[in-house]
Structure 1
Amino acid sequence: MNPLLSRLQPYPFERLKQLFAGVTPSPEFPAISLGIGEPKHATPGFIKDALSASLGALAAYPATAGDLKLRTAFTGWLKTRYSLALDPATQVLPVNGSREALFSLAQTVVDPTASPQPVVLSPNPFYQIYEGAALLAGAEPYYVPSVPARNFAVDWDSVPEEVWARTQLVFVCSPGNPTGAVMALDEWKKLFALSDRHGFVIAADECYSEIYFRDEPPLSGLEASVKLGRPDFRNLIALTSLSKRSNVPGLRSGFVAGDAAIIKKFLLYRTYHGSAMSGAVAAASIAAWGDESHVVDNRAQYRAKFAAVTPLLEPVLDVRLPDASFYLWAGVPEVWAGDDEAFARELYAQYNVTVLPGSYLARETTYGAHSTNPGRGRIRMALVAETAECVEAAERIVRFCKDARR
């Protein structure tokens, strides 16, 4: 067996299951889960219609690169959303959701034979696929802290020069999971300069880009690259998907875009990896990428939901409206002494509401003279259910926090 498999850590939801083992929640309350970031809004009918009308495509093997119509749907959306002009033949590829692409990109980019051992950087807290991808590519993960005082911006300045010298891949997530923070142009400028100096690839995870709460939509890494005089997107790959944008997590559909030289190597890897998108999924994807009205409606639903829930929680939790995404990243009350696991367990036991302990989304690391888990003392709440259910969950959390003060 691959010995690197032994280095993988349990997934957050496995740890949550273990945390709740033996706990019987109060029968007074029906279960409400804010734990898993799975979209719950209705899938638009026209996407389902496009899928069912194309089932005949199941009789043929699909091309790993997808056909030109599919790739043009990607570049058309990039043009509409970001005013970017990419070549559909060389600068985009279909993927089966951003999750599998994040993992397989690391296998493509990282050279495991390099000496000293290569490094893959990720934010801390982070999406655990980044860590698993790094470990199974033979790299050493390095966790870069997000700073609460700076709206959870990643502290790239804290990374030692000797680590940058070994870095081959940097994962960024903007809008961020779990914090909802969006990277500003100055932050991209800093990261691009570091990439030019050290030669590492940047993988920009942008799957939450269409759920935002400010007037200005989130900046894409591709958009930042052009603004900063890098129209070739060198050493940059952006990844996005339809799961959150179009409420089709089961479709497993997305695309990657950016540096043509990396796209070419990624296509070679994927040809052997067996990760082609089926023709039926491609047809549904073309329909989805070509329509914005359902995206506007989806965003309006999230805005209304967050506007209803956030003010309820602000008096009892350290929480505020994020820049984007569908998560609230909240600090637990002082009475819990930073014990996010105990908070989540007791909330589940007393009020049958599930939230995810923030420490499960981060790693204990040492920065300067201090060792810390930057997720400790926080919880992640995914506001994916209907508004009424999310409001009910928030009201229970308020009662739970007020009870704890007595």
Structure 2
Amino acid sequence: MEREDERYAQYCAILEEELVAAMGCTEPIAIALAAARARELLGAVPACVEVAASGSIIKNAKSVVVPHTGGLKGIEAAAAAGIVAGHADRALEVIANVSSSEVEAIAVYLADTPISVSYAETDLDFDIVVRLADASGAHTSLVRIADFHTNIVREERDGELIRDVPTVSEGGVAEGLTDRSVLSMEGIWDFAMTVDIDDVREVLDQQISYNTAIFEEGLAGNWGANIGSVMLGAYGNDVKVRACACAAAASDARMSGCELPVVINSGSGNQGITVSVPLVVYARHLGSTDEQLHRALVLSNLVAIHQKTGIGRLSAFCGAVCAGAAAGAGIAYLDGGGYKDACHAVVNALSIVAGMVCDGAKPSCAGKIAFAVNAGILGYVMYRDGQQFYGGDGLVKKGVENTIDSIARLGRDGMRATNEEIIRIMLGS
């Protein structure tokens, strides 16, 4: 792809927009961001806090440890952390810098302040509203984040409207985001093979550095269910096992409150881990050059974003499935495969694990990531060894784009009722 091709700049922009650093699971961090901004608008420590969230937000925030809180979990902890120690200008690193005294203050505030959580009446899968009031009740603030994790669409102070932009579903356009419909498997492959690495080096080097650090911590420490260590102990140190285990270890650490940042993909730290860590492991094993690893990461990241574009940020469809399939495409390239290998890796992997559901952020995500990465690897080696799934085999359609579209329909439309039932089960209703 030539630099003069308008898609070139768009693909670079998409990577810069999506591959950002986040401290902690992104749904509770988005709640912390909304709370931190609402506290700024209020101009005082709130005496009353109300959080209304869509079911998918509640599902992904209720069971995960919020970093820099001393091990606290859930929506209330996320809101308290944002109010007491958050810096809204840091976006998804809103609570990245919390002092030991602030950790104590978060616990005290959480114990002393009424924080109510309600199921928002909304048609959006991604919707957060935080309302604050001071001790007198005379001053209030409101912040709404919708569609994606940093998209503040409404701000109010004392009932006065400060910011009001339509959500995407209301006909609005996500401010500052490049149109993802420009992505295609053919275009992604062309871009990945020809991009000047210096144009994408900064975001990819940060992804390599951050996500490597957290998988190493995941293996060294005692985090979550220790899926990575269990896999290595049970199945050996083969590169295929190691790729799955290291990705799982990073997720275990992240889900359990590890205070290391992750570079995300499609709004998800777990997906950012899944598209990158297996490629780092394979590149080390194969002796790949830095350039080859960077090109593989361009491929993997954009393939994951392409798949998730049709599904949406949050769904009953486990995002690790898309990320694992994308990792399979990147591994295919590192192993000497071409465009067809990458496409068939994606199609085969999606066919294998398309039914995996998302039941929120928690330690079992690590196990799902391990299986998704394994499916990506199997999807590639199947085609390398002359085997594949064909159009008409279940959800598989003839052509990679058609298969991606059928999976998008499943995740976006077909699993909507499934998502609602998952949420009801998780909330005990």
Please indicate, yes or no, whether the TM-score normalized by the shorter chain is above 0.5: no
Q: More strand by proportion, 1 or 2?
A: 1
In the superposition, the TM-score normalised over structure 2's length comes to 0.26
In the superposition, the TM-score normalised over structure 1's length comes to 0.27
Q: Compare relative contact order (CA 8 Å, sep 6+) and give the higher one, 1 or 2.
A: 1
